[in-house]
Amino acid sequence: MSQQKKAILTIEGREPIELPIYAGTLGPDVVDVSSLTAKGLFTYDPGFMSTAATKSDITFIDGDNGVLLHRGYAIADLAEKSDYLEVCYLLLNGELPNAEQKEKFVNMVRRHTMVHEQLQFFYRGFRRDAHPMAIMCGVVGALSAFYHDSTDINDPHSREVSAFRLIAKMPTIAAMSYKYSVGQPFQYPDNTLGYSENFLKMMFGTPCEPYVVNPVLAKAMDRIFILHADHEQNASTSTVRLAGSTGANPFACIASGIAALWGPSHGGANEAVLKMLDEIGDVKNLDAFVKRVKDKNDSTKLMGFGHRVYKNFDPRAKVMKQTCHEVLNTLGIHDPQLELAMALEEIALKDEYFVARKLYPNVDFYSGIILKAIGIPTSMFTVIFALSRTVGWIAHWNEMIGSPYKIGRPRQLYTGATERNYVAMSERK
Ligand code: CMC
């Protein structure tokens, strides 16, 4: 971060205020407004449309040009040439690992895949029909009760152990949420398998017969994990940072991220896309659906379209679409929902409403169709997103805790009542 220029803020009746401007390595310059509070002023930016809440070395997005870089590497390259655990290493450590570092990292993850045996009783307190995301919020939050020995946030070793525990246990916890909902026995992790293979085995294996992981599905799963691994200062990551800024333990912080991710405007959109395609049902209903989306008096949205930052193709969506075709072709699956999605995309990309608002498919538009082909039920889609994003949340949390930081405490433009006298009950209307 270098200071090259300064801005002068001129307000009627006040001395001009000088504000430093910093340049990052990529992206827009930022005006440092942190001195304004001492001058009795706040900035006003609902939804953080123009606010850089932090500086970060991890991920860069150029939304106008559809660019997404993790530690400088393009997402398409990582999706094609890397694997999820390598991307985890990259996000956490800043560099791609050499062979020895990779092996050590993978072994560390392997050593932590099992969860405390007592944790299964925690699951049994939930209703069988509970949404798996509700279970995830509860169980991940509860991890600090099971792994209290790694909650000292000021100790780098303790932070590292928590990171490994979270990355390694998340597939186990996610698969247990699914098994609980279908009434099947929990499956222990199999540490002879890779990260994605192990997850699929815990999801779909049973004690009754051997489960052989289909390598095509494992590859697709791994790619989905990579494409969701991190995404800069999005709502859930900012939530994790905000929770972390209070000194809360990492398990509590990640649980707060999972809760924020669940919303349909964020990670919950992948589930919403398939529900939307189900509701549309047939290509002949597309025009009527698009009409509803464009109607100001109707709250229907085209789920899987639009993004706060991307005003061009989401680069993750491009890879996702290609992966979707590859997976379905290799498995010989003909999915009418894919045809429906493609027809919907075609209509939207030509329609003036979407063109004018720069609304393009985002990562969630095609991911659900791949997940469905893998056999993952719709209610687990956002869980998969949470599992994949855990490493991004940890990388950002670690970046913050590892350098000087302040508690996150936004201010407000107060528009409520001014001070008034208390009204006794007998005098209230
Ligand atoms: N369908 C219909 N209209 C839309 C959509 C959509 N999906 N997205 C935005 N718009 C319209 C919106 O109504 C507004 O129109 P107008 O200017 O006439 O009022 C305009 O486009 C600008 O939208 P906005 O809501 O101000 O944009 P935002 O940056 O605040 O919201 C968003 C971004 C992702 C919440 C929104 O595009 C959306 O709700 N999309 C659908 C949900 C979705 O797919 N979310 C997943 C995001 S990618 C995964 C992740 O990172 O979480």
Q: Give the model's pLDDT for residue 150.
A: 85
Q: Does residue 4 surpass a pLDDT of 80? A: no
Label residue 207 by pLDDT band (50, 70, 90): very high
| Mean pLDDT across the chain | 95
Q: Which residues does ligand 1 sit against, CB inside 6 Å?
A: 231, 234, 265-267, 269, 293, 301-308, 357, 359, 362-364
Q: Give the model's pLDDT for residue 2.
A: 74
Gap between the Cα atoms of 186 and 209, Å rounded? 14
Label residue 313 by pLDDT band (50, 70, 90): confident
Q: How far is the CA of 323 from the centre of ligand 1 (A)?
A: 24
Establish whether 152 is a catalytic residue: no
Establish whether 364 is a catalytic residue: yes
Label residue 276 by pLDDT band (50, 70, 90): very high
Q: What is the mean pLDDT of residues 162-169?
A: 97
pTM: 0.94
Q: How far is the CA of 395 from the centre of ligand 1 (A)?
A: 27
Share of the chain above pLDDT 90, in %: 93
Q: Does residue 52 surpass a pLDDT of 90? A: yes
Q: What is the mean pLDDT of residues 122-134?
A: 94
Q: What is the mean pLDDT of residues 129-140?
A: 95
Label residue 285 by pLDDT band (50, 70, 90): very high
Residue nearest to atom 24 of ligand 1 (CA): 308
Establish whether 266 is a catalytic residue: yes
Q: Give the model's pLDDT for residue 1.
A: 74
* Vertex 171: Cα angle to 167 and 177 (nearest 5): 130
Instruction: Give pLDDT tens digits for 24-39.
Output: 999 999 999 999 999 9
Q: Does residue 301 surpass a pLDDT of 90? A: yes
Q: How far is the CA of 185 from the centre of ligand 1 (A)?
A: 40
